[in-house]
Amino acid sequence: MIDILENVATRWLSRRAEPQPTAVAAVRDLTPAVVITGGSSGIGLALAHQFAKYAQAIVLIARTQNRLDRAVIALATEYPGIRVEPLLLDIGRPDAVEIIAAWLTEKRLYCDVLVNNAGVGQSGPFSASDPSGLDAVIATNIAAVARLTRAMLPDMLARGRGGILSISSLGALIPGPHQATYYASKAFVVSLSEAIRSEVAGRGVRIAVVLPGPVETRFHARMNAEGALYRHFLKAASPERVAALAMRGYRLGRGVIAPGMIPTLAIPVLRILPHAVTVPVVRWLLDTGRPLLPGDRAR
């Protein structure tokens, strides 16, 4: 059934597509790839497993070599017919887009689907935040998402097909005291995705953003936010469940994807309620009860 619905969604999303012969010819001898940032663990790796069921090639971009190696082995073992390519890179680097483009050309690949998944978090009072951590959040969660999307989108439009799937957070819909920069960065991802989706409507490119609630990854521990009250009140979903629901929504052509019951119920509520009501609650839920430490950021 989902295959039928996906075909219907694809036809609707491509109703105004005008593939340019030169753009199509330029990639005729290349292999289409799903490029996933932060693809060596968590939601990124879980999404790689989802896309591996349909894609010809998966590109995993991450900062840690041993995690990349393990991820490649896991994917190659489960999906022996697919090409898996690792790229060790910090996408927060100003020259990351150029490095990725040159690397794809060298590997005779092109980006058919971009998954903006890599993210950095920072917890604690903004006034005491580590400036280097602040820079890392902006470089990874905002600048890299915008730069990569801008770099890949024109060619997708020229080919009349492709997709950009960005991972945001329920926190994007509300200011987050004690995680102020992280929440603001995820709001940027939602705003950018929804705006671009409107701009390119009907031209054959899927633009979607995923807003998961808490997910059971190492992300919270790496930014020392495990002590926050929300970690005790809200049940965390597994990366595999979030990825499966995100993939389903992406295939069905949805623009904003709520992966699970909590996000499905929370998104319309958070969009309606005034911040005067919600921000104090979020401040209470995110308070860890301790001062910010220099290393309080996560990748």
CATH code of 208's domain:
3.40.50.720
Q: Is residue 23 part of a domain?
A: no
User: What average pLDDT score do residues 55-72 get?
Assistant: 97
What pLDDT shows up at residue 295?
45
219 is in which domain, residue-wise? 2-15+30-298
Q: Is residue 22 part of a domain?
A: no
Give the separation between CA 38 and CA 254, rounded to whole angstroms. Answer: 23
Reading the block at residue 108, the tokens are 């005779």
The vertex-111 CA angle with 110 and 112, nearest 5°, equals 110
Residue 54 is a catalytic residue? no
CB proximity list for 81: less than 8 A, separation 6 or greater = none
Of 103-112, 169-178, 244-253, least confident by mean pLDDT is: 169-178
Q: Is residue 247 part of a domain?
A: yes
Q: Is residue 277 part of a domain?
A: yes
- Helix (H) / strand (E) element for 256: namely strand 256-257
* Bridging pattern class, strands 83-88 and 57-62: parallel
Query: Which among 186, 193, 230, 250 is annotated as catalytic?
Result: 186
Residue 127 is a catalytic residue? no
What pLDDT shows up at residue 298?
43
Of 100-114, 133-147, 208-222, least confident by mean pLDDT is: 208-222
Reading the block at residue 256, the tokens are 């904003």
How many domains are contained in the chain?
A: 1
pTM of the predicted structure, to 2 decimals: 0.91
What pLDDT shows up at residue 233?
55
Of 10-19, 125-134, 219-228, least confident by mean pLDDT is: 219-228
Q: Which residue has the tokens 């119920």?
A: 265
Of the two residues 103 and 285, the one the predictor is more confident about is 103
Query: Which among 129, 168, 185, 193 is annotated as catalytic?
Result: 168
Per DSSP, 241 falls in state H
What pLDDT shows up at residue 122?
87
Task: For residue 88, give Cα distances in angstroms to 37, 83, 205.
Answer: 10, 17, 27
**How many other C-beta atoms can be found within 10 angstroms of the C-beta atom of residue 275?**
12
Q: Is residue 21 part of a domain?
A: no
CB proximity list for 177: less than 8 A, separation 6 or greater = 279, 282, 283, 286, 287
Q: Is residue 273 part of a domain?
A: yes
Give the separation between CA 187 and CA 240, rounded to whole angstroms. Answer: 23
Residue 168 is a catalytic residue? yes
pLDDT tens, residue by residue, 209-255 = 999 988 876 554 555 555 555 555 566 789 999 999 999 999 999 99
The helix/strand/coil state of 262 is helix
pLDDT grade for 5, boundaries at 50, 70 and 90: very high
- Helix (H) / strand (E) element for 62: namely strand 57-62
What pLDDT shows up at residue 299?
37
Query: Which among 40, 129, 182, 185 is annotated as catalytic?
Result: 182
Q: Is residue 71 part of a domain?
A: yes
